[in-house]
């Protein structure tokens, strides 16, 4: 029986206009709550950004943010895996010193704020303003004094795969680079990832991974979809992720997640009724 539902946001739960049917979802959420099904948001995005989509219930639900580097359940921090200071300095030295990384754009996502270079283009600043709350300009990333969860890089589209491979080779066993598609690469501590965030929650709630359903679309959802008992990928998702899904559902613009939530809720109700009836036989 499904006891927790985990949803990626961009490209999965949200449509291309970054919206979802809030009224419909809130009705579903109340049913899930009544049935004892946990609702989890899992994203590479900053916790403060994710909370803004669920302001009415933010202290009731769970957030796996920063691609698994920070997990908060009902307003309580239950797991975090920040990048150590010396490793931050190594990353900054590497990207400044190798030609493959030329032209990089970066937001460092921390506990107190997110940090962007003061010379960032207006276009990149506008994009960062959407995804990060409390965005602070810095003259030198090395001067940041904060707990840092993630490097959010943007590279030219044609260089993304090579940059990801370079980062993973250089920091093998220490840091993990994950592309979320297009020009973006998130670099986090190696013991992060949405799948590890789910594992931490399963242990905390004393449920099994097989009792978790997860929805995603992109490569940073791959391990999550593969690890859970019920893995769903939206029709607009990456081919590689669809290949390991238990089910491919309708696209993010067709309310694919909400449509499937209706089926999950109905299925759990039937299982509960069946168990109740079995007690009286």
pLDDT of 254 reads: 98
pLDDT of 207 reads: 98
Cα–Cα distances (Å) from 76 to 64, 81, 167, in that order, read 12, 15, 32
pLDDT of 13 reads: 98
pLDDT of 191 reads: 83
> Cα separation of 118 and 32, whole Å?
44
How many other CB atoms are there within 10 angstroms of residue 225's CB atom? 26
The counts of H helices and E strands in the chain are 9, 14
pLDDT of 281 reads: 57
Catalytic residues: 8
Q: For 149-181, b where at least 16 C-beta lie within 10 A, e where not — what string?
A: bbbbbbbeeebbeebbebbbeebeeebbbbbbb
Closest CA to 152 of 119, 199, 115: 115
pLDDT of 179 reads: 85
pLDDT of 129 reads: 93
Q: What is the pTM of this model?
A: 0.90
How many other CB atoms are there within 10 angstroms of residue 12's CB atom? 26
pLDDT of 174 reads: 96
pLDDT of 2 reads: 97
| Ranges of the chain with pLDDT below 50 | none
């Amino acid at each position: 029986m499904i006891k927790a539902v985990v949803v990626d946001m961009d490209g999965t739960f949200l449509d291309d206009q970054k919206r979802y049917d809030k009224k419909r979802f809130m009705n579903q959420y109340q049913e899930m709550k009544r049935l004892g099904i946990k609702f989890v948001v899992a994203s590479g995005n900053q916790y403060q950004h994710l909370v803004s989509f669920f302001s009415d219930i933010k202290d009731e639900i769970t957030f796996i943010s920063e691609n698994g580097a920070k997990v908060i359940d009902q307003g309580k921090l239950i797991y975090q895996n920040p990048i150590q200071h010396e490793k931050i300095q190594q990353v900054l030295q590497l990207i400044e010193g190798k030609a493959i990384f030329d032209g990089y754009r970066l937001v460092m996502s921390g506990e107190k704020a997110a940090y962007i270079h003061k010379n960032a283009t207006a276009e990149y600043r506008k994009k960062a303003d959407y995804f990060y709350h409390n965005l602070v300009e810095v003259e030198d990333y090395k001067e940041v004094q904060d707990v840092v969860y993630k490097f959010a890089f943007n590279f030219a589209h044609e260089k993304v795969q090579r940059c990801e491979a370079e980062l993973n080779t250089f920091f093998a066993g220490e840091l993990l680079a994950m592309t979320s598609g297009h020009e973006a690469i998130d670099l986090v501590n190696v013991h992060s990832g949405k799948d590890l965030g789910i594992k931490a929650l399963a242990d905390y709630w004393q449920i099994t991974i097989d009792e978790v359903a997860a929805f995603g679309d992109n490569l940073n959802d791959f391990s999550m979809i593969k690890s859970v008992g019920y893995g769903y990928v939206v029709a607009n998702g990456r081919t590689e992720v669809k290949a390991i899904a238990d089910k491919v559902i309708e696209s993010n613009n067709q309310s694919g997640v909400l449509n499937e939530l209706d089926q999950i809720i109905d299925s759990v109700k039937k299982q509960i009724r069946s168990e109740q009836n079995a007690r009286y036989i």
